Structure 1
Amino acid sequence: MSLIKSISGIRGTIGGKVGDNLTPLDVVKFVSAFGTWLQNNKNKKDLTLIIGRDARISGSMVNSLATATLQGLGINVIDLGLSTTPTVEVMVPELNVDGGIILTASHNPKQWNALKLLNEKGEFISGENGAEVLALAESEDFNYADVDDLGKYETRDDAFDIHIQQILDLPMVDVEAIKAKKYKIVLDAVNSTGGIAIPMLLDKLGCETVKLYCEPNGQFPHNPEPLKEHLGDICELVIKENADLGVVVDPDVDRLALIDEKGEMFGEEYTLVAVADYLLKNKNGVAISNLSSSRALRDVAQTHNSEYFASAVGEVNVVNLMKEKNAVIGGEGNGGIIYPELHYGRDSLVGVALFLTHLAKENKTVSELRAGYPSYFMGKKKIELTPEINVDDLLTKMEKEYQNEEVSTVDGVKIDFENNWVHLRRSNTEPIIRIYTEAKSQEEADKLGDDMIAKIKSLI
């Protein structure tokens, strides 16, 4: 079974049986539910939604189904075609429409696709609203429009230009400083829409782009999650081209990974750290990440006399805490930059512009910049659960076991020791407890994970 219904959207593999996978009937049902929910909650007759997609193979088919379904409900559609997640998010308030749907399964392999649902602010709908949409989908209580009331359809091809111009206009993006450096940058866009958008941005910033896997045909040449083990080709090409850095984005361009001039990973966790360093150096404020992100962000915030707070895992949770604390910068350790001066969504394009500004102003190489940050190493382990184990009781026992340490129960149990931390979370999709650790060495991080597994087993 490969259909995952979450509060923020519907994700599944293409093909197979209705209700088990993301079939055409499932697309129609869930788009109908979202459209109906909007109609039920808006005090206006004519609704308009923006729709955009990444370049995966199924995108055109899913787009046709979703668009026609919205029109069938009497909802107008503005179709951006090939786009990015942050571009759709920016365009919703830009065009003053009622919401949006992004067709992307983010870093999942090519057989996956998804419907990501946006409110009128261009932000992911809340958990409460998502639950209401899922309930409507189950009830199938839809009322489609008569022939004279079908929704209108139009396309736009200027969304990237608008998004990029908004980035260039940001006071903290120094276009001239970047242009003066004439950076040579290798880009791996995993044959999706980053191959269109990122070169457009880099051209405006006076950079030379060496394209690797930038044809938006949805044929992912490697696992699309931007992790070290998948990025050997770009690491080699950065060295071969004598480039200043490498830029890697996932299929929908909301995650940003960087490669230094030596062909080494900058570290996904450190994309946010570097951008926060630049912003907090210029404006004291608050930085936000989730509980499973690196302690390095907290360290950098403290060096600038700024505050750091951690949210539960999940972009919606990060955004909610950013709003509560009026944060200057936030995001997730997977390379997701959220810069509220532009919009409340992970955005690789603004991440690139802010990082290059920082790099230019520091007048350092990428490796020199990275060397200036605290070095932490992360470990990820898991422990299998049997049906008779009460996970809540188990996590409560772990909380009491380490009550003399700094403990957070915002999302599972996170224990902050003096020199390392561990985060225990129940998986939403598998019968396991995930164990995330971070320490000053990989060996220490892995040992901490093993120690926690032993401690959990002793409490079962």
Structure 2
Amino acid sequence: MFGTSGIRGEFGTDVTAGLALDVGRAVASEDNERVVVGRDPRESGPVLVDALTAGLRECGADVVRLGEVPTPTVARAIEWYDADAGVVVTASHNPPEDNGLKLWSADGSAVVGNEQASIAGRLEREAFDLQPWDRLGGVESISEARHRHADAVADAVTVDPPLEVVLDVGNGSGRLTETALRKLGCAVETMNATPDGTFPSRPSEPTAENCRQLGNVVAGTEADLGVAHDGDADRMLAVTESGRWVSGDVLLALFARREARPGDQVAVPIDTSMAVRDELEALGATTTFTKVGDGHVADRATDDGVVFGGEPSGAWIWPSLSRCPDGPLAAAKLAALVADHGSFDALVDDVHTVPIRRENVETESKRDVVEYVRAQVADRYESVTNVDGVRVDKDDGWFLVRASGTQPLVRITAEARDADRMASLFSTASELVDNAVGSVGASAGAA
């Protein structure tokens, strides 16, 4: 039920009001007496929030409703409003027909591990502590959280000199980034800033393809950079002053080397480019690898010596400030970095990149496909890692095959110092996946 980022799927089939009701019941039954709730702009959000709230109250929890706000606002609000947990109704970067529920712990980090397993167990057993009529939880609505979040970002960052920034909200919840950047003295031009859960301007996921308009706008103005969010504004990706798209791996390298000192560690998922490790090794710092998913990165970021955590997908975590990926904070941090160095293009050019390729294969049998690949490579390669999916390491590169935690996809990644070698490794991984898809499909048909 739980993927790398909570529960997510198509509304009305995978994700229903009944499921939201039970999630609320399960969260409250875990001794969470006060729970913060928010949502992104998706059309199905209000229905799910109502059901979630009913389930929480039914099991005695008081609910603090924030309305439509970014995911990181909910995570921060747990502490602000003396809550024990938080739930966001969001499908993040997924298409508009999807929705989901993401759960947050008392410390503002995503629910993972044993805590997640306990809630999942309650859902499976329907083990809910329903309360009598005179012990139901209460509900209150708070409208100030968005402004409080913007103030917190502005208090944590200095942008000197102030910059000109183009912000592509993507019709999601991230418009408070404009407020935060303006508080920091920046001039901000917004794009697609009206919340609309159908995402009419561009798909919710901020990719190079989806953010071409942002690059064109930045290149045609005097702006110093452009930033883009996904639907719930936990992700932030960017373009340079020339309109050049910056990969998540390069952004991760830039953030990591700004934060790390000799002996420090940076938490990154297993699909991260070697370029990040190279940048850190030059500083005397190191990477520590996790499963894919910001919850796993945040969990590792609490370890001693870990000063930063990030994912190439655009999730950035400064553990001393917040344990949730915070798109508005990341936008401000990036603006500060560019202001300090004078040119975003120059910063990007200074990162030595390594040839890497990522692609997805759509399949409803994603976990069976990965298991099939796992069996195929077990005796074929000396270095096989099963931390998350199947990773094969060679002396000059690696490839990874893993099931998406949020969509019906198998994700393939390959990287090597040499472009031809990378292409060869990617071809090998793709062939393994194609064979697995065919075999799994044939087995299903025979059954």
Q: TM-score range by the shorter chain?
A: 0.7 to 0.9
Task: Indicate the residue corresponding to 1:230 in structure 2.
Answer: 210
**Counterpart check, 1:420 vs 2:397:** yes
Supply the distance in 2 between the matched residues of 1:408 and 1:236 (Cα, whole angstroms).
41
Do 1:8 and 1:126's aligned partners in 2 also have CA atoms closer than 8 Å?
no
- Identify if the C-alpha distance between structure 1 residues 340 and 430 changes in structure 2 by more than 3 Å, giving closer, same or farther: closer
Do 2:154 and 2:181's aligned partners in 1 also have CA atoms closer than 8 Å?
no
Letter in 2 for 1:422: F
The unaligned stretches of length 5 or more in structure 2 are 440-447
Task: Indicate the residue corresponding to 2:43 in structure 1.
Answer: 57
Do 1:398 and 1:456's aligned partners in 2 also have CA atoms closer than 8 Å?
no
**What is the CA-CA distance between 1:425 and the residue it aligns to?**
2.9
How do 1:298-377 residues align onto structure 2 when only pairs under 5 Å count?
298-363=277-342, 365-377=343-355
**Counterpart check, 1:28 vs 2:8:** no
Supply the distance in 2 between the matched residues of 1:425 and 1:14 (Cα, whole angstroms).
24
**What is the CA-CA distance between 1:146 and the residue it aligns to?**
3.1
Supply the distance in 1 between the matched residues of 2:54 and 2:326 (Cα, whole angstroms).
28
**What is the CA-CA distance between 1:225 and the residue it aligns to?**
0.8
Task: Indicate the residue corresponding to 1:289 in structure 2.
Answer: 268
- Identify if the C-alpha distance between structure 1 residues 62 and 279 changes in structure 2 by more than 3 Å, giving closer, same or farther: same
Letter in 1 for 2:166: V
Do 1:7 and 1:131's aligned partners in 2 also have CA atoms closer than 8 Å?
no
Do 2:26 and 2:122's aligned partners in 1 also have CA atoms closer than 8 Å?
yes
- Identify if the C-alpha distance between structure 1 residues 262 and 419 changes in structure 2 by more than 3 Å, giving closer, same or farther: farther
Return the TM-score normalized by structure 2. 0.87
| Segment of structure 1 superposing worse, 76-85 or 145-154 | 145-154
**Counterpart check, 1:13 vs 2:6:** no
**Counterpart check, 1:48 vs 2:34:** yes
**What is the CA-CA distance between 1:420 and the residue it aligns to?**
3.0
Task: Indicate the residue corresponding to 1:104 in structure 2.
Answer: 90
- Identify if the C-alpha distance between structure 1 residues 158 and 382 changes in structure 2 by more than 3 Å, giving closer, same or farther: closer
Supply the distance in 2 between the matched residues of 1:333 and 1:30 (Cα, whole angstroms).
30
Do 2:3 and 2:405's aligned partners in 1 also have CA atoms closer than 8 Å?
no
Counterpart of 2:339 in 1: which secondary structure? helix
Do 2:370 and 2:389's aligned partners in 1 also have CA atoms closer than 8 Å?
no
Do 1:256 and 1:271's aligned partners in 2 also have CA atoms closer than 8 Å?
no
Counterpart of 2:232 in 1: which secondary structure? coil
Supply the distance in 2 between the matched residues of 1:411 and 1:111 (Cα, whole angstroms).
27
Supply the distance in 1 between the matched residues of 2:124 and 2:282 (Cα, whole angstroms).
51
- Identify if the C-alpha distance between structure 1 residues 244 and 145 changes in structure 2 by more than 3 Å, giving closer, same or farther: same
Task: Indicate the residue corresponding to 2:442 in structure 1.
Answer: none
Do 1:7 and 1:128's aligned partners in 2 also have CA atoms closer than 8 Å?
no
**What is the CA-CA distance between 1:131 and the residue it aligns to?**
2.6
Supply the distance in 1 between the matched residues of 2:315 and 2:85 (Cα, whole angstroms).
22
Supply the distance in 2 between the matched residues of 1:209 and 1:248 (Cα, whole angstroms).
13
Task: Indicate the residue corresponding to 1:249 in structure 2.
Answer: 229
- Larger RCO, structure (CA 8 Å, separation 6 or more): 2
**Counterpart check, 1:411 vs 2:388:** yes
Task: Indicate the residue corresponding to 1:169 in structure 2.
Answer: 155
Task: Indicate the residue corresponding to 1:274 in structure 2.
Answer: 254
- Identify if the C-alpha distance between structure 1 residues 400 and 432 changes in structure 2 by more than 3 Å, giving closer, same or farther: farther
- Identify if the C-alpha distance between structure 1 residues 445 and 199 changes in structure 2 by more than 3 Å, giving closer, same or farther: same
The count of corresponding residues between Structure 1 and Structure 2 is 434
**What is the CA-CA distance between 1:209 and the residue it aligns to?**
1.0
Supply the distance in 2 between the matched residues of 1:164 and 1:289 (Cα, whole angstroms).
26
Do 2:369 and 2:433's aligned partners in 1 also have CA atoms closer than 8 Å?
no
Supply the distance in 1 between the matched residues of 2:266 and 2:326 (Cα, whole angstroms).
16
**What is the CA-CA distance between 1:265 and the residue it aligns to?**
0.1
Return the TM-score normalized by structure 1. 0.85
Counterpart of 1:230 in 2: which secondary structure? coil
Counterpart of 2:88 in 1: which secondary structure? strand
Supply the distance in 1 between the matched residues of 2:93 and 2:45 (Cα, whole angstroms).
14
- Identify if the C-alpha distance between structure 1 residues 333 and 325 changes in structure 2 by more than 3 Å, giving closer, same or farther: farther
Supply the distance in 1 between the matched residues of 2:6 and 2:407 (Cα, whole angstroms).
19
How do 1:65-76 residues align onto structure 2 when only pairs under 5 Å count?
65-76=51-62
Supply the distance in 2 between the matched residues of 1:390 and 1:14 (Cα, whole angstroms).
25
| Segment of structure 1 superposing worse, 86-95 or 408-417 | 408-417
Counterpart of 1:237 in 2: which secondary structure? helix
**What is the CA-CA distance between 1:245 and the residue it aligns to?**
1.0
Supply the distance in 2 between the matched residues of 1:457 and 1:217 (Cα, whole angstroms).
37
Structural RMSD (CA): 3.0
Supply the distance in 1 between the matched residues of 2:64 and 2:203 (Cα, whole angstroms).
31
The unaligned stretches of length 5 or more in structure 1 are none
**What is the CA-CA distance between 1:391 and the residue it aligns to?**
5.9
- Identify if the C-alpha distance between structure 1 residues 429 and 300 changes in structure 2 by more than 3 Å, giving closer, same or farther: closer
**What is the CA-CA distance between 1:137 and the residue it aligns to?**
2.1
| Segment of structure 1 superposing worse, 52-61 or 142-151 | 142-151
Do 2:5 and 2:293's aligned partners in 1 also have CA atoms closer than 8 Å?
no
**What is the CA-CA distance between 1:284 and the residue it aligns to?**
4.9
Supply the distance in 1 between the matched residues of 2:434 and 2:48 (Cα, whole angstroms).
45
Task: Indicate the residue corresponding to 2:196 in structure 1.
Answer: 217
